[in-house]
Structure 1
């Protein structure tokens, strides 16, 4: 289903808006998190369903969404979902996708020219698609959707998925197509800022590398005089990975490194009371994490915009 409304809340000095492009049952749960056994889902059905798991079909429930932050007088987008009219033959759900994402942004009070900064947590098709528009029209050219914005792109991902490395080593055709229609045009416009390690955006926002899912996967930390938050990108595709952080998604390129990054981010969230907001969680989209001995568990689910 298409979700047309935006939800918002204040986190200290930063306003957060959630703009959902799509939400629903996505794919078989253990296709997405292969190391998770059936018992892990069934034993937690009471709280996984219906926001994160559809037991009848055994499908993971996910969301495609962008987070709009207003910080220090600037408008910041965290990831840009799928984008319309893309050639994605390896991803049937995204192939020639058509949606009203820009309309949803407009209804949230955000025009493309108002965006100051775009954060791509990593270069995957469902995180960079609305970086550009125009090429979906016959004879059209892909150009930056947000003409006044800088685009923050992890340098390691840009190197890995870029042409010098054969677009991710030529393993997936969709990687080449994604780079060519969603990353190369913002390079040509001179709007890309590459970064590595950590990158301070302003007094409230800091990017931090969390590699493994991709070489340059990153998280965005918010410390704004109120609640501390970590936008965790694709470190987590399902809450079962909080219970079993050794379980990677099927999309993680370096499983060992991804698991280590996931454990580190969860440990800090539990110890320092950070709210965790992954890229694709359904439901409220935001969760507290608590320790249970040497393990972790979801704490309270935090509704945004209520």
Structure 2
């Protein structure tokens, strides 16, 4: 089981997909040529220059409740502008059920409203998109809800949740329980957010798409082509990594392959990885 305990919070990793996403330098133009070989094999295919990544959900057991952080791509979505996700189909829901029954999920956190973070919010039932987690409160950043309104992702993965009365739209910060608090982290999208975990002496921060590759830890100025405001994203990334280094927070990005999460320290103009989490590297799916 891909599970660690951080303070009084149990963290389980459920992988929807793991493999080569596409050329790393096309996704992160600031990466030098040749691509740094220290990223291989967990984050880079050296033969192709491709970024190795994962689509995954983090299942947290905290204060007697079950919280999901991001819900992945989802099955059967029409995504013509994103061919890798178009008509996507995996057995993710079966793997998630091995960890938690969807009806027992209490809270769903969408760190932002991109297709690979909200897809399993809903599933297709006789041609209608209905909540996959019918008893959960879905925490959705208000800024992203408004920014993406009318987009295909919003129509099949967000609007049905709002219309079912399951969504809580939030701004700035939102306290989930004594261990977990959401915080706005704009740049990648207007409503991008992170989830801070503080339990006993242990700290962690789930950063969504603030970081896609470990290269961005060493060079926080390096942004993704998907960032709505790359300059703001870089400032947010620098701030979040500086706090993580100072407070000893485990940094948990949404898409890292390999061991999935890191501890960092300052190094020059960026940061260095001091330790990896104890999650085993995922299999290629």
Q: TM-score range by the shorter chain?
A: over 0.9
1:38 aligned counterpart, secondary structure: coil
Q: Is 2:33 aligned against 1:38?
A: yes
Q: Give the alignment partner of residue 259 of structure 2, picking from 284, 287, 297.
A: 284
Number of the residue aligned with 1:7? 2
Q: Is 2:181 aligned against 1:209?
A: no
Which structure has greater strand proportion?
2
Alignment of 1:88-167 (within 5 A): 88-108=79-99, 110-134=100-124, 139-162=126-149, 167=150
Alignment of 1:170-209 (within 5 A): 176-209=151-184
- How far apart are 1:293 and its partner, in Å? 3.5
Contact 1:9 1:305 in 2 (8 A): no
1:134 aligned counterpart, secondary structure: strand
Number of the residue aligned with 1:244? 219
- How far apart are 1:106 and its partner, in Å? 1.2
1:270 aligned counterpart, secondary structure: helix
Q: Is 2:225 aligned against 1:234?
A: no
Number of the residue aligned with 2:75? 84
Distance 1:289 1:161 in 2: 33
- How far apart are 1:179 and its partner, in Å? 0.4
Contact 1:18 1:65 in 2 (8 A): yes
- How far apart are 1:303 and its partner, in Å? 1.5
- How far apart are 1:305 and its partner, in Å? 6.6
Contact 1:8 1:305 in 2 (8 A): no
Number of the residue aligned with 2:233? 258
User: Could you tell me the TM-score, scaled by structure 2's length?
Assistant: 0.96
- Which runs of at least 4 in structure 1 moved beyond 6 Å after TM superposition? none
Contact 1:84 1:129 in 2 (8 A): yes
- How far apart are 1:134 and its partner, in Å? 1.4
- How far apart are 1:37 and its partner, in Å? 1.4
User: Could you tell me the TM-score, scaled by structure 1's length?
Assistant: 0.90
Unaligned 5+ segments in structure 2 are none
Contact 1:157 1:214 in 2 (8 A): yes
Distance 1:220 1:57 in 2: 34
Deviations for 1:153-204, whole angstroms, at most 9, x for unmatched residues?
0010011111xxxx4xxxxxxxx11000000000110000001111110000
1:34 aligned counterpart, secondary structure: coil
Q: How many residues align?
A: 281
Contact 1:199 1:207 in 2 (8 A): yes
Distance 2:179 2:243 in 1: 18
Unaligned 5+ segments in structure 1 are 1-5, 168-175
Distance 1:299 1:236 in 2: 17
Distance 1:266 1:247 in 2: 13
- How far apart are 1:295 and its partner, in Å? 2.4
Distance 2:24 2:2 in 1: 27
Distance 1:266 1:95 in 2: 33
